[in-house]
Amino acid sequence: MIEMQGVSFGYLEGEPLLSDMTLSLQPGSFHFLTGPSGAGKTTFLRLCYADLLPAGGQMVAFDQDVRALSRDGIAALRRRVGVVHQDPQFLDHLPVAENIALPLTVSGEAVDMKELRELLIWVQMTQQARSLPPELSGANVSAPRWPAR
């Protein structure tokens, strides 16, 4: 699914942050990536969804060389890679419920309103479903319980 052969990347010219990465991430496999702060974990993930492109080596995602992808090709790749960022990213002009449904909306899939409501109940955010993200405060949402009841 994602294959890297000798991939390198650096934010600054001539200063590689990641180098000689050779790996293969198979469909359905499960991986942990650990390392100290600043080691390059987020950078590695950004390479995986072509937010950054390798400076050297070869990276193939879903059978395509990422450096040969067009803008549309990169968009198509991103539709197949779900990412939960360490800093939450919302569209501030859309209500919470629409933000949650956004990955389905942009990929043209039907939104199951029953599932959406169940998700909101699970994280105890039904009251905030119509709120805009800037209106939310960590203080008015009680901590979710696990598992949901």
Ligand X SMILES: Nc1ncnc2c1ncn2[C@@H]1O[C@H](COP(=O)(O)OP(=O)(O)OP(=O)(O)O)[C@@H](O)[C@H]1O
Torsion sign (Cα): 112, 116, 119, 121: negative
Shortest Å, Cβ 9 to ligand X: 10
Residues 26-65: x where in contact with Mg ion by CB under 5 A, - otherwise, as a string? ---------------xx-----------------------
- The Cα 143–Cα 140 span in angstroms is 10
- The Cα 100–Cα 127 span in angstroms is 14
- Contact call for residue 43 and ligand X (CB under 6 A): yes
- The Cα 90–Cα 103 span in angstroms is 11
Taking CB positions, which residue lies at the least distance from Mg ion? Answer: 42
Residues 1-40: x where in contact with ligand X by CB under 6 A, - otherwise, as a string? ----------x-----x-----------------x-xxxx
Residue 18 or residue 96: which is nearer to ligand X going by CB? 18
Residue 111 · residue 88 · CB < 8 Å: no
Shortest Å, Cβ 42 to Mg ion: 3
Tell me which long-range contacts 122-125 makes (C-beta under 8 A, separation of at least 24): 122/148, 125/96
- Contact call for residue 141 and ligand X (CB under 6 A): no
Residue 41 or residue 78: which is nearer to Mg ion going by CB? 41
DSSP conformation class of 109: P
Contacts with Mg ion by CB under 5 A lie at 41-42
